[in-house]
Structure formats: C-alpha cells, structure tokens
Amino acid sequence: MIYPKIPLAQSILQIFLAKEITNIIISPGSRNAPLTIGFASNPAFQCYSIADERAAAFFALGIAQQTRKPTVLVCTSGSALLNYYPAFAEAFYSRIPLIVVSADRPQSKIDIGDGQTIRQENVFANHSLYNANLVETASEENDRQLSEAINIAIDKKGPVHINAPFEEPLYETVSELSVNSTVFASAKVPQIIDTKELKEYATLWNNATRKLILIGVNDPNAISQETIEAFANNESVVVMTETTSNVHHSSFINNIDTIITPFTKEDFEAFRPEILITFGGMVVSKRIKAFLRKYQPKHHWHIDTLRAYDTFDCLTKHFEVEPNIFFNAFLPLTMKVESNYFAQLNAVKELRKEKHEIYLSKIPFTDFKVFEKVLASLPHNCQLQISNSSAIRYAQLIPIDPSIEVYCNRGTSGIDGSTSTAIGAAVANPNLTVFITGDIGFLYDSNALWNNYIRKNFKIILINNGGGGIFRILPGHGETPVFNTFFETLHHLTAEHLAKMYGLNYVVANDEMSLSNGLNSLYAKNDKPSILEVFTPTLENSSILLQYFKEFV
Ligand SMILES: Cc1ncc(C[n+]2csc(CCOP(=O)(O)OP(=O)(O)O)c2C)c(N)n1
C-alpha cells in the first residue's frame, strides 16, 4: 500500500479509518497532496473528485444527509476552504455531520507574504462544533483533537473543521506507516429522562384540551408508528406537518398555509393551543410562525438532543432527548381528555380540501398547475429533493405520496447548493431521485453538474419562470425596473446548453400536454441523468397563487 510520507497525514488517515469514516470528497490542490494521495491510494476509502469546493461541500452534505454519517471534505489552502462555508453553515443548522479537512501552511508562514495563504485556523468558528488546529509534527495531542472532531461530528450531528499544516515536500510516499496513532473514544453520555419531572409535565398535558404538535424538518422513520397512532387517537391533539417532516397520518394537517391563511381573528383565538410541542428542524411555513408568535401558547416544549430555538418567544421547556425516547416515556403517563380541538380543525381541513380541488381544476398553466401535475406524477418510493424559494412553498400546498422521502436545505434556506446536495443525496440513496428546482437556484449552482458521479436515474425538473418568482409573491412586489433587475433578476437563459455540455437528456414543456409527455419521457429514460425544463408564464404565476388563498374566504 502507498502512504503519504508526512506523519500527520498518516495520522489523519488512520484515525478516519478507525472511526469508519470513509466517504471523502477531494478538491484539487497541492498543499493537500499528502491527504489526497493517502485517501485515493487506500481502497477502504470511497473518494470523489470535485473541483468546485462550494459544489463539493453541498455534494458532501447530500451524502451525509442520506447516510447520517460524517462525510469528509479535503481541500488545499487559501480561499478554497472558504468556499465550503455555505454548506458548512447549512450543516450546522440542519444538523448534518460534515468534516472539513483543510491543508494549510505551517503557522509561521501565515501573513508573511507567502502565496495562497489565509488565516485558516478557526475560520468557521461561528458555525463549527469543533475546531482542531493541528500542528505539523504528529503527536498525541493531534490525535486527540482529530478523534474529538470526529466524535463530535457523529455525536452532535454537525460540521467540524480540522486544519492540518503541511510543509514541502508534499508528494513523497512510503510503503510502511511511520506512525501509530492513538484513537480516542467518544465521551458521549446516554440520554436519560427525569421521570419525576416528566410526571409534572404529564399533569399539565392531561389538563389541557388544546395541544398542538408541530413537526419541522425531520428524517424519515424517526418517529415510531406507535407514537404517530397515539397522536392521531387523541382528540385534544392536532398534529401539523410539512412536506419536509416526513411523518404521515391521514388525520395530520399537512397543508398548514391552506388551513390557516384564511383564518379570522376569532378562528385564530379558537385555534390558539395551550401546549405546543415541537421537534425536528426548521419550519417552512411563515404563517404558522407568525400565528404562534401572536397567539402564544402557555407552554412550548421543544424536544431535541442538542438545541432548542425559542422560535415563538414562549419556550418554557427543552427536553434534551430524542423525540422517540421522549414520547416512549411520556405517552404512557398521559390520559385522554374530552376536547373538540381536533374535530374543529379537521372540519376546516375537509372544507379546504373541496375548495382546493375546485380551484386547481380551473387554473391555467402556471407554476401552481405545474407543481400539482409534477407532484402527482412522482413514482412511489422515490426520493424528492426540493430547492429553496417558491418550490418548497408550493410543495406545502399539494399532497405528496407518503412513500416519498422529502428533503430541502432549510438550515439556511440558501439557493446556493440545492442541486449539488440533491446529486450527493442521490449517490447515497439507491432509489430514484427527483429534484425540483427554480431557475435562479439552478443557474446559481450549475457547477453541480460538473460532477462525474451523477446517477443515471437522477431527474431534474427545472421550473423556469424567467427569474426569482418568489419575489412576485412577497409583499414588496411592484412592476418596476428596480424590481425586475434587482429582485426578480429577470433573464432568458435556459438549461439546454448546460444539458448538452454535461451530457444530460433534455426535454422541454410549456403547456399541460407537453408537461405530461415530458414527465413520461423523464421517468422512462435511465440511460443518462435528465432535465425536464418547464417554462411557465412569468407574469401570471403569482396572481394564480395569491388568488388561491382568497378563494377560501
Ligand atoms: C445564497 C442565497 N442567495 C440569495 C437568496 C435569496 N433568494 C431567495 S429565493 C431567490 C430567488 C430564487 O429564484 P428561483 O430559483 O428561480 O425560484 P422561484 O422563486 O422562481 O421559485 C433568492 C435570490 C438565498 N435564499 N440564498
């Protein structure tokens, strides 16, 4: 076997291997040569070469999102590292384990006029769960920091940064290891629940007739079926989910905005919960956040092993355990109380359903219509990746088959890496992956396609409405040159030549008939990855969506 000659590089490889961290995304450079040679020469590692570090980091994020294990990024010194930051921040807020390993010059060479050097140590400090600032000579302290970085990425599910200084010569190799690194174990303590305290909370629960459970971004299968059934069988409980919650039951409310947007002041008062329980990550619906901030519950409990955001300014308790562990201990302590809380909201749901169907049956070919058709066309058990902007918002309004797992980068809601993330996620998930994106997000991350690992059954549905359609929906919209240029960023670009350049199938749709044909051909062809570009009318899209909410009044 070939190993890098530099002992520090050997230690890094050894400790990753000992911790079974094997997915490595490498971007080209010279300073990282000891690591690149070491990782790429060892068949225990699965290495991917991606030139653009921003795209590489989102690709890594997609793999880690699916495997739920750390993915490693390796880059050279200088600005290369900074291009990881968007995905690093996304990993921080979405709790996805990423390990960045940046090659550096020794500290004595920083800020003395040496080329391709910046201040790399702690560069992600604001969003990093741990920063290992290694030193050039292999040592037990280096090993401790390396182990700690990996342990924290695993235990706390988030991004960590390892900065590794290497001095030239960088390319020399040896056939025997010269160091024997120490691997430090995780000091993670098991999650425990204080049952005495839990009983007090159960008393509050048992005395409340209006309890709302709101589930944010959540991994599929994270909540047991028993817990789901217990929620569903409790008439004092309303469960609200989003497409990214990946939790399903016919009695849950999965179209929050459709339900609450038309509410009057009296409706909101009647709906105000006494107890709000939240778990999962970010919540997409702005309207539910505005509602809960204005009509605050008396108690808000958040369940999460790490963090509890006081999103509604009324957080009263943070249970620092996995939701499943919490509910397994909590639900046996609860009793049924008489309530019409669920029944009232369910009646609204039924009314909305009827009007929703009538409205969708009469609207012209616009973004909304396209989302209705596209979401209904998705094959069972596929993985759905959605970009930020209006795509993720339309997806909240239309039911999606429960067999489909849904993901979106809601940690920072950036439009800068949705395609790369989806491509990475597809690599790590054997199911067919469909990625729905807007045009600005797609064009922004077009380097995502500069990637040799795109699976043949990867399908992009690009909804091209000529710019950032979201800005037409937001209140600041006015048909002015400033709006068109600086908000909407109106354009006439298409994906046709990108598809050609990167060797993807390319199909176009611009009405219902061509959309239906386009979807059929999209799913039928698996010889190469494919793009279906759907052109929608820039000026009509927003009025059709805004009118939707008025139809319920
Ligand atoms: C990195 C980043 N820059 C800017 C934004 C602000 N932003 C949000 S949506 C959007 C436009 C997206 O347009 P498009 O992808 O075409 O989707 P559409 O709104 O048409 O659905 C922009 C610029 C962001 N979220 N992330």
Tell me, using a 6 A CB cutoff, whether residue 445 lines ligand 1. no
For tokens 């062809």, name the residue. Answer: 525
With H, G, I as helix, E, B as strand and everything else as coil, classify residue 347: helix
Tell me, using a 6 A CB cutoff, whether residue 443 lines ligand 1. no
Spatial CA neighbour of 159 closest among 204, 128, 203, 194: 128
Q: Report the atom number in ligand 1 closest to the C-alpha of 367.
A: 21
Report CA-CA distances (Å) from 271 to 197, 257, 263, 462.
Answer: 28, 14, 10, 38
Q: How far is the CA of 462 from the centre of ligand 1 (A)?
A: 14
The Cα 311–Cα 289 span in angstroms is 8
Tell me, using a 6 A CB cutoff, whether residue 441 lines ligand 1. yes
Report CA-CA distances (Å) from 142 to 9, 21, 148, 158, 163.
Answer: 11, 18, 10, 21, 11
Element (H, E) at 547: helix 541-550
Tell me, using a 6 A CB cutoff, whether residue 390 lines ligand 1. yes
Element (H, E) at 102: strand 98-104
Q: Report the atom number in ligand 1 closest to the C-alpha of 388.
A: 9
Tell me, using a 6 A CB cutoff, whether residue 254 lines ligand 1. no
Tell me, using a 6 A CB cutoff, whether residue 389 lines ligand 1. yes
Tell me, using a 6 A CB cutoff, whether residue 419 lines ligand 1. no
Tell me, using a 6 A CB cutoff, whether residue 469 lines ligand 1. yes
Tell me, using a 6 A CB cutoff, whether residue 367 lines ligand 1. no
Q: Which amino acid is at 240?
A: M
Quickly list H helices, 178-315: 195-206, 225-232, 256-260, 265-271, 286-294
Q: Report the predicted TM-score, pTM, of the whole model to 2 decimal places.
A: 0.97
Q: Report the atom number in ligand 1 closest to the C-alpha of 389.
A: 9
Tens of pLDDT, residue by residue, the chain (553 residues): 999 999 999 999 999 999 999 999 999 999 999 999 999 999 999 999 999 999 999 999 999 999 999 999 999 999 999 999 999 999 999 999 999 999 999 999 999 999 999 999 999 999 999 999 999 998 999 999 999 999 999 999 999 999 999 999 999 999 999 999 999 999 888 888 988 999 999 999 999 999 999 999 999 999 999 999 999 999 999 999 999 999 999 999 999 999 999 999 999 999 999 999 999 999 999 999 999 999 999 999 999 998 999 999 999 999 999 999 999 999 999 999 999 999 999 999 999 999 999 999 999 999 999 999 999 999 999 999 999 999 999 999 999 999 999 999 999 999 999 999 999 999 999 999 999 999 999 999 999 999 999 999 999 999 999 999 999 998 878 889 999 999 999 999 999 999 999 999 999 999 999 999 999 999 999 999 999 999 999 999 999 999 999 999 8
Residue 39 near residue 26, CB atoms below 8 Å: yes
Residue 531 near residue 505, CB atoms below 8 Å: yes
Q: How far is the CA of 49 from the centre of ligand 1 (A)?
A: 28
Q: How far is the CA of 145 from the centre of ligand 1 (A)?
A: 38
Q: Which amino acid is at 417?
A: G
**Whose alpha carbon is nearest atom 17 of ligand 1?**
438
Q: How far is the CA of 441 from the centre of ligand 1 (A)?
A: 6
Residue 136 near residue 97, CB atoms below 8 Å: no
Report the first-to-last Cα separation within the chain, whole angstroms.
Answer: 71
Query: Candidates 370, 394, 409, 440: which one to mutate for ligand 1, based on the most atoms within 8 Å of Cβ?
Result: 440
Q: How far is the CA of 451 from the centre of ligand 1 (A)?
A: 23
Q: Report the atom number in ligand 1 closest to the C-alpha of 471.
A: 19
The Cα 457–Cα 182 span in angstroms is 42
